[in-house]
Structure 1
Amino acid sequence: MGITIVLADNSKLNKEKVLKSIDNFDHEGKLIGYGSRNKIKKITIDNAEYNIKSFKNPNVVNQIVYRFFRKSKAERSFLYAKRLLKMGVLTPTPVAFVEYKSIFTFGRSYYISEQLKYDFTIRKLIDEPKYEDYENILRQFTQFTYDLHEKGIHFLDHSPGNTLIKKTNSGYEFYLVDLNRMDFKTLNYQERLANFARLSPKDYMLDIISDEYAKLMNKPSDEVRERMYFYSQKFSSGFKKKEAFKKKYFFWRKKKR
Structure 2
Amino acid sequence: MEKVFNPEYKHFEDRFDSILKDFETSGEQVGFGKRNAIRAFDAAGLKVNVKSFKSPNFINGIVYGFFRKSKAQRSFEYANLLLNKGIGTPQPFAYYLEKKTLGLQRSYYFSQQQDIDGMFQTLRFEPEFPDREEIIRQSAAFYFKIHNEGIEFMDNTGGNTLFRKRADGEYDFFLVDLNRMKFHESISLEQRAKNLAKLTTDKQINSVLGTAYAKLYQVDETLFCGLLQKEADKLWDKFERKRRLKRKLKFWKNY
Shorter-chain TM-score: what band?
over 0.9
The answer on whether the counterparts of 1:119 and 1:167 sit within 8 Å (CA) in structure 2 is yes
Structure 2 counterparts to residues 4-153 of structure 1, below 5 A:
4-11=2-9, 13-153=11-151
Greater mean alpha carbon deviation, residues 12-21 or residues 115-124: 12-21
* Displacement of 1:217: 1.3
Query: What SS does structure 1 have at the residue aligned with 2:17?
Result: helix
Determine the C-alpha separation between the residues in 2 that align with 1:247 and 1:8: 46
Determine the C-alpha separation between the residues in 2 that align with 1:239 and 1:38: 21
Determine the C-alpha separation between the residues in 1 that align with 2:18 and 2:252: 35
* Displacement of 1:197: 1.4
Determine the C-alpha separation between the residues in 1 that align with 2:93 and 2:236: 35
Determine the C-alpha separation between the residues in 2 that align with 1:251 and 1:86: 50
Show structure 1 runs of 4+ deviating over 4 A. Answer: 250-253
* Displacement of 1:44: 1.4
What letter matches 1:183 in structure 2? K
Residue by residue over 1:232-252, the C-alpha shift from the partner in whole angstroms, topping out at 9 and shown as x without a partner, is 011111122223334443689
Which residue does the alignment assign to 2:230?
A: 230
The answer on whether the counterparts of 1:162 and 1:178 sit within 8 Å (CA) in structure 2 is yes
* Displacement of 1:208: 0.8
Structure 1 residues 27 and 14: CA distance shift in structure 2, 3 A: same
Which residue does the alignment assign to 1:204?
A: 204
Query: What SS does structure 1 have at the residue aligned with 2:47?
Result: strand
Percent identical across equivalent pairs? 36
Determine the C-alpha separation between the residues in 1 that align with 2:204 and 2:150: 28
Determine the C-alpha separation between the residues in 2 that align with 1:12 and 1:244: 49
Query: What SS does structure 2 have at the residue aligned with 1:131?
Result: coil
What letter matches 1:57 in structure 2? S
Determine the C-alpha separation between the residues in 2 that align with 1:70 and 1:112: 20
Determine the C-alpha separation between the residues in 1 that align with 2:118 and 2:52: 23
Determine the C-alpha separation between the residues in 2 that align with 1:97 and 1:187: 30
Q: Which stretches in structure 2 are left out of the alignment for 5+ residues?
A: none
- Compute the TM-score of the two structures, normalised by the length of structure 1: 0.92
Which has a greater percent of helix?
2
Greater mean alpha carbon deviation, residues 226-235 or residues 124-133: 124-133
The answer on whether the counterparts of 1:7 and 1:14 sit within 8 Å (CA) in structure 2 is no
Greater mean alpha carbon deviation, residues 80-89 or residues 178-187: 178-187
Structure 1 residues 251 and 63: CA distance shift in structure 2, 3 A: farther
Residue by residue over 1:173-222, the C-alpha shift from the partner in whole angstroms, topping out at 9 and shown as x without a partner, is 00111100112222122111101111111111111111111111111112
